[in-house]
Amino acid sequence: QVGDHIIGVTSSGLHANGISLVIKRALTLQEKLLTKLPNGNTLGEEALIPTRSYVALVEALLEEEVDIHALLPGTGGGVSKVAFDKRAFSYRIHTWVEVPPLFQFMRELGISLESCLAVFNWGIGYYIFVPSSEVSRTISIGQKAGYQLADVGLVEKGERKVIFEPEGITLPPPGE
């Protein structure tokens, strides 16, 4: 709904989306998947971080009867997937979480920011859409359940697109 806040829940890493692109780029490197990233892990180690489950988070929110308007996994379609609703909504992303090292490294390998945002989850593995009255409670419940959450954006009336303010770019809806 217009006025909803977009709460992002951090990802554990790749979550399998974009693995083909990561492998393709890794094979061009001298050390391939053994290439060390700035955080000390290898490219292969970062690519194989298990996908986090968000079930406990959703259960905690439902148990506390949070007024949830939508739940959306941040997989397939990258950040542009936020524009999942076919109605005339713009999704203004005003804040973002720390970008995982693997994704930063992909940028260093020459993958455009637009491509990264269209392929990778870019650090958010799950989205929760709630009214403004539920933002602080949603974040608090999520943190108590062991997750990191951030109020990253708002749903606005307008052309269907994602306005990604942290990087100053606009993304089309998924599949367009």
pLDDT digits (tens, 9 = 90+) for 19-72: 899 999 999 999 999 999 999 999 999 999 999 999 999 999 999 999 999 999
How far is 151 from 32, CA to CA, in rounded Å?
Answer: 37
How far is 104 from 118, CA to CA, in rounded Å?
Answer: 14
- Please state the pTM of the whole predicted model: 0.93
- pLDDT for the residue 6: 98
- pLDDT for the residue 175: 76
Q: What domains are there in the chain, each with its CATH number?
A: 5-17+50-171 (3.90.650.10)
155: left (phi over 0), alpha (psi -120 to 50) or beta: beta
Each residue's pLDDT tens digit, 88-108 = 999 999 999 999 999 999 999
Portion of the chain with pLDDT greater than 70, in percent: 100
pLDDT, mean of residues 154-166: 95
